[in-house]
Structure 1
């Protein structure tokens, strides 16, 4: 094997990563949840203020990464008084914990268009690992503008235990296990 020169090594280090940066389209993102209410019904909600970036390495998806920020005050269950209660000290306590974050720590490809994205979710001041079962839906040129914008799309699901994140009030009556559904588009930067 021929030794590499210092100049060649520095050139390799300066070579940009193979990952492309995509920014989540805030008008086409959904982070929703379901909560059992006393066994009588399921309450559905979502967070309306979600942003983030994806570093996508198509040749080596395992080298990709995801970072997402959610404003918990943007919770929307379709009922103003309930939303105010969910934002309060009994549950999300948005005054003390004004941001939720997810930062991927590993990505495992499980199929041609599927994978598991594991990362650290910080919610209600507690950070725990969470794994998202993820499906890559599409990559293509966005057809709704004259500008040629490359777009990718993903769907993901997981289930959280709210008590794991310190939100343990009424877990005997109101669901502790919370199914989460995520869908988003992201634009190449």
Structure 2
């Protein structure tokens, strides 16, 4: 569920000031993957992943790059310890056997001069499937915190994933098959410090 996410992807909006590819790092303080799924068609089960790591190599002049993001599945947090244990177990993520979800992407799609979507592959529960993240908002530029300026790219992304496609069918159909991912991300050039 990563999902990634992703938003390393987001740095695709940086102005063309760089003449060569630049490496960016996700800010773990300001990057989170949220998820939700229908529960008996009455409400939603919601949660988040708190441990995310990722890197992007991006050439702003050509708009090309490569993305590799991992999500620690043991960091799942629904606010319910019992449910968190079930999600970590072999019934769902099987975090003991498959400790991370991984997103790799190399296609950034723009519309009207703005980042519209990022496409790649998601590996989860030992299965790899295509994934398309829609950009709900995105912005890149210099920001200043406590008198220190740095380049920051960030945005919100959204995707819908059928969990059954990754072999996770426990409690279907009472718990819905479609999982909505919402990815909030920030990324800075490698070596930057989170604020």
Q: TM-score range by the shorter chain?
A: 0.7 to 0.9
Aligned to 1:130: 131
Partners of 2:116 and 2:105 in 1: CA distance? 13
Partners of 2:88 and 2:77 in 1: CA distance? 10
Q: Secondary structure at the match of 1:97?
A: coil
Aligned to 2:92: 91
Residue 45 (str. 1) matches residue 62 (str. 2): no
Task: Work out which structure has the larger RCO, using CA pairs closer than 8 Å and 6 or more positions apart in sequence.
Answer: 2
Q: What's the offset of the Cα at 1:169?
A: 1.3
Point out the structure with the larger strand share: 2
Partners of 2:188 and 2:88 in 1: CA distance? 30
Runs of 4+ in 1 over 6 A off after TM superposition: none
Aligned to 2:66: 65
Q: Secondary structure at the match of 1:83?
A: helix
**Residue deviations 1:23-59 (CA, integer Å, cap 9, x gap):** 1000001211111111121111111001111223323
Partners of 2:125 and 2:143 in 1: CA distance? 36
Partners of 1:33 and 1:111 in 2: CA distance? 29
State the aligned residue count.
173
Taking structure 1 as the reference length, the TM-score comes to: 0.85
Aligned to 1:10: none
Aligned to 1:170: 171
Partners of 2:115 and 2:150 in 1: CA distance? 24
- 8 Å contact kept, 1:65–1:107: no
**Where in structure 2 are there 5+ consecutive unaligned residues?**
1-17, 191-195
Of 89-98 and 110-119, more deviation after overlay is shown by 110-119
Aligned to 1:149: 150
Aligned to 2:22: 20
Q: Secondary structure at the match of 2:112?
A: coil
Q: What's the offset of the Cα at 1:80?
A: 1.0
- 8 Å contact kept, 2:48–2:76: yes
Bigger radius of gyration, 1 or 2?
A: 1
**Where in structure 1 are there 5+ consecutive unaligned residues?**
1-15
